[in-house]
Amino acid sequence: MASPSPAGMLFENVFIGLGSNLGGREHHLRLAREKLRSHPEIELRQQSSLYRTAPVGVLDQPEFLNQVIEIATRLTPQALLHTLLQIERELGRVRDKKWGPRTIDLDILAFDQRRINTTELVVPHPEIRRRRFVLAPWAEIAPDFRPPESGQTVAELFASCNDKSAVHV
């Protein structure tokens, strides 16, 4: 839920999924968090542990490191999306193959309790229920959060997830 900032402007709480499976994976995740933390309109609230996870979609690629963070921001959803895409470009992300290897992947999982469905952005992220590699770290930091339209908490979504792929801290 939105909370007032010291200046009186409303912050909205946002959950972002981070992933990397190329190069210095931990380094890429750390740099992405640092870039978000240094943005004047973003405050990093909490971060999960790093989880080693099997790839999804394209299986013939390196193992991922995944994480979920919670931020507070005054940015609009579209402005945040553009910020995330810019960070991905700065960290060498190349989008040449769907579900292919990547230096960094930054996905908006939930933007407070907003429901967004544009050609550019769908929130809550449509694949949440099927992604154990997102639900495990998210349940670590916000087990009681209820993504819009889910009817369940993150912990309940994780417990009922049909994806049985390996996820290790």
pLDDT of the residue at 60: 85
Residue 6 vs residue 58, higher pLDDT: 58
pLDDT digits (tens, 9 = 90+) for 1-11: 555 544 556 79
DSSP string, 40-62: TTEEEEEEPPPEEE--SSS-SSP
Which two structure tokens, joined as six digits, stand for 139?
A: 């349940």
* Catalytic residue IDs: 93, 102, 105, 107
Confidence band for 152, pLDDT divided at 50, 70 and 90 = very high
The radius of gyration computed from the CA coordinates of the chain, to the nearest angstrom, equals 15
Q: What is the mean pLDDT of the chain?
A: 91
Interval 71-129: pLDDT, tens: 999 999 999 999 999 999 999 888 777 777 899 999 999 999 999 999 999 999 888 99
pLDDT of residue 1: 57
16 CB burial (10 A radius; 0-12, 13-18, 19+): buried
Query: What b/e sequence results for 86-119 when a residue is b if at least 16 CB atoms lie within 10 Å of its CB, and e otherwise?
Result: ebbeebebeeeeeeebbbbbbbbbbbbeeebeee
End-to-end CA distance of the chain: 28
Query: What tokens were used for 131?
Result: 């992604």
pLDDT of residue 83: 98
Average pLDDT of the segment spanning 24-29: 97
